[in-house]
Structure 1
């Protein structure tokens, strides 16, 4: 805290400096002035919290100084110092908001009691000021949000309180017209992804122009992401010209174009939704391949085009997936693109439907192959990246992105198929282990695992370095050896147990594999025991 002592007598100033308990009251800076004029210069520069002032001074007396402080530095607390115990001075001091007064010669105890009381008052008032400032700031921050919510409500239901129209600067009229401004991904990226700052900036640009003409109000339409709505109540003949000005002003301010569509005029506020829906359809009908300098769209009578359907290509897509080659998709996508941009016309609505159907088909195939990592379903966010700063659609970039996604999908299928087939070979091995004692045919395995005989035979040999028939023989011989060592079963009984009905054939196979007959193997292991 800072203190200013104003008195034309230096010894009085020195006395106050000497007697005051400054540190105890949190005061770290003490300044002096010899008269009111000097005091004003210091007050303007230093903004002291506490001011001691004599009442009778040359050039500008204490009364004039107190009056100036009350007008220009009202937050400072003043303490009058006077040698005159005169009701006239006390009355003046009270009139100009002085906190207290001290009589000369100054009593140290009274000085410090007064100082402590005034410092306490200033701190209490400062806390209240800070609280009020914070509250005011919060109100200012909330006001645009409140306006947006209420005007969104107006579009949808027309139930605003009468006093709110004047508060928002909304003029009542006989006719209204709605325009729709689309805020795309590029606009938000211009503000490092800060969506609120994007809307705040654009709305400032719009409302400055609208207020100058006194013809409308713009607000963030909270019922749908990425939209600013303008309600016009005047200058209808100049709306398209005015929107062209708005379009260019936004482009100049943020470096990104935001397309605008105009709805029909309506006679009542409760029909604003009709004008909004008209503007929305006009925007959906707009040709995104058109290279117009200013993208402001209007359409008196809606002519909704028939939208093409991606699902009619489902069989072609399935055939392309079966080939497993991206070349097949490149040809198919070229054919689809040609169909969709016939006449160099592709509407915003058609693009959204195309993207939506592409996501449905893609995710269906992801599920079919049990693949993780489905494509994001944020449709507008996905397509926004293909509009440049001038809101022109980059068709080739969009096609290239689609091809890249499909190529990743095909690679996942191949990896999944390799992994699945590898797992199947080990499942087949388990199947053979469980059924070694009977004659398991390759056709049986094929039908059981839904894989061709040729594939099974080839992959099994690659994995285990032996064909299936020899693998079964090895299993049987290992079981026979265990039974020969640990049982008194007859040779023909063991042969039957491991899948050989002819014990002579079993003996022949056993000797071929082990180099000795079953009886010799048994005798050898009995001697070792």
Structure 2
């Protein structure tokens, strides 16, 4: 805290400085002034919390100084110091809000009691000021939220007294028009992802222009994400011009494109929702491929273009999936793109509809192959990524993303197929091990595992480095060796057990594979 001592006598100032318990009261800085004019200069520069002031001084006396302090530095606590025990001075001091009154010569105990009391009062008042300031700030912060909530209710025709809206400038009128401003995820990215700051800033621009013309008010429409609504109650002939100005201001100052659509004129506030719905349809009908600089749209009569359906291409999509190569999709994607952008027109509504159906079909195929379904379900968020700085849809980049997503899916599908086929080959190996004692034909394996004989032969050789017949012979020979070592069975009996009806043929095969005859092999283990 800071203290200013004002007195034309230096010894009085020195006495107060010497006697005051400054540290105990949190006083860190002490300034001196010889008259009221000097005091004002110190007050303006340092804003002291406590001011001791003499009443009789040259140039500007204490009464004039107290009056100036009351008008210019009312938060400071003043303590009058005078050598005159005069009710006149005391009355003036009280009138101008002095905290207390000290008589010369100054009593140290009374001085410090007075100082302590003034400091405590200042602290209490400062805490109250901060509390009020915080409340005022909160109220100011809440005003836009309150405005948005109330005007959203008005637009939705809830039964609320229209007089309530006068506090934020809404005016009653015989006619109204609604305009709709679209706020996309790309717009919010321009504000480092701060959604509240986005709306606050854009609405400040909108309402500043509207207030200058006293014809409308903008607010965040809380019933739908990504929308600012403007209600016009006057100057309908200049609405397009004002909205063009709003659009260009946002574009030039913040480098963001916020498409705007104008609704039809209605004659009652309860019909505002009708004008809003009209504006919404105008916005949805807007051409996303439009290259014009301004994105302010108006349609007296709404277009009713039928939406194309992606499910019409389901059989083509299935054929491309069976081919398993992205090249099979490229022609299909180009065909769909051509169909959807006839006459270089692709409405926002059609684009959102396409993205929704694309997600449905994609998820269906993911589930069909038991792949985890990933990606955002926020259709608008996925689409908004592909609008450039002037609000034009980047169709080619969008198509490239779809190709990448399909390519990733096809790669997953190939890995799944390879893994599955590899497992099937090992299952065939197990099947041969279980049926080694009979003549298993390739056709039997093909019928059992629903795979072509050619594929089985090729993949089996790749996995086991031998063909199926040799694999079966090796199993039989291993079984024969085990029986020769661990049983007293005759050679022909062993031949029958492992699938050979002709023991001579068995002996021949055994000798070829093992290198010795069955009898010689058995003799090695008997000895």
TM-score, structure 2 normalization: 0.93
Correspondence for 1:412: 412
SS in 2 for 1:159: coil
1:401 aligns with 2:401: yes
Q: For the structure 1 residues 173 and 484, does the alpha-carbon distance in structure 2 shift closer, same or farther, using more than 3 Å as the test?
A: same
CA distance in 2, matches of 1:126, 1:140: 21
CA distance in 2, matches of 1:101, 1:497: 126
Question: Aligned partners of 1:10 and 1:383: how far apart in 2?
Answer: 78
Distance 2:480 2:79 in 1: 115
Q: Which runs of 5+ in 2 are unaligned?
A: none
- Cα deviation digits, residues 371-424 of structure 1 (max 9, x gap): 346343322222223222221222222223322332333233223322332333
Query: Cα RMSD (Å) of the superposition?
Result: 2.3
Q: Which moved more, 1:59-68 or 1:419-428?
A: 419-428
CA offsets 1:42-96 (integer angstroms, 9 cap, x no match) = 1011011111111222222222212211211111112222222333322222222
Instruction: Output aligned runs, 1:339-358, within 5 Å.
Output: 339-358=339-358
Give me the whole-angstrom Cα distance separating, in 2, the residues matched to 1:499 and 1:93.
126
- Report the Cα offset of residue 29 of structure 1: 0.9
Give the CA deviation at 1:501.
5.5
Distance 1:11 1:438 in 2: 127
CA displacement at 1:437 relative to structure 2: 4.4
What CA distance in whole angstroms lies between the structure 2 residues aligned with 1:424 and 1:77?
Answer: 93
Q: Does the 8 Å contact 2:176/2:269 carry over to 1?
A: yes
Structure 1 pair 130–443 and aligned structure 2 pair: CA distance change class (3 A) = farther
Which segment is superposed worse, 321-330 or 310-319? 321-330
Instruction: Provide, for residues 340-392 of structure 1, a one-character-per-residue CA deviation record: whole Å limited to 9, x for no partner.
Output: 22222221111111121122222222223333463433222222232222212
- The CA distance in 1 between the partners of 2:110 and 2:506, in whole Å, is 124
For residue 462 of structure 1, report the CA deviation from its aligned partner: 0.8
- Matched with 1:24 is 24
Partner Cα distance (2:21, 2:490) in 1: 117
After TM superposition, the score normalised by the length of structure 1 is 0.93
For the pair 1:360 / 2:360, whether they are aligned, the reply is: yes
Aligned length: 527
In structure 2, the residue corresponding to 1:56 is in which secondary structure? Answer: coil
Alignment of 1:92-491 (within 5 A): 92-372=92-372, 374-489=374-489, 491=491
Partner of 1:523: 523
Say if 2:7 is the partner of 1:7. Answer: yes
C-alpha displacement at 1:33, in angstroms?
0.6
| C-alpha distance in 1 between matches for 2:118 and 2:483 | 107
Provide closer, same or farther for how the CA distance between residues 340 and 92 of structure 1 changes in structure 2, counting only shifts above 3 A: same
| CA deviation string 1:116-162 (max 9, x = no partner) | 22222222222222222222222212221221122122212333344
Q: Structure 1 pair 479/102, CA: closer, same or farther in 2 (3 Å)? A: farther
Supply the distance in 2 between the matched residues of 1:163 and 1:80 (Cα, whole angstroms).
51
Which sits farther off after the overlay, 299-308 or 441-450? 441-450
Q: CA deviation at 1:474?
A: 2.4
For 1:147 and 1:493, the matched residues in 2 are separated by 99
Distance 1:357 1:31 in 2: 77
Point out the more displaced range, 165-174 or 80-89.
Answer: 80-89
Instruction: Tell me the secondary structure at the aligned position of residue 279 of structure 2.
Output: helix
CA distance in structure 1 between the aligned counterparts of 2:24 and 2:412, rounded to whole angstroms: 75
* 1:252-310 per-position Cα deviation (integer Å, ceiling 9, x unaligned): 22112221111112222222111111111111112222333322212222231111111
Task: Tell me how far 1:214 sits from its aligned partner.
Answer: 1.3
Contact preservation (8 Å) 1:287, 1:348: yes
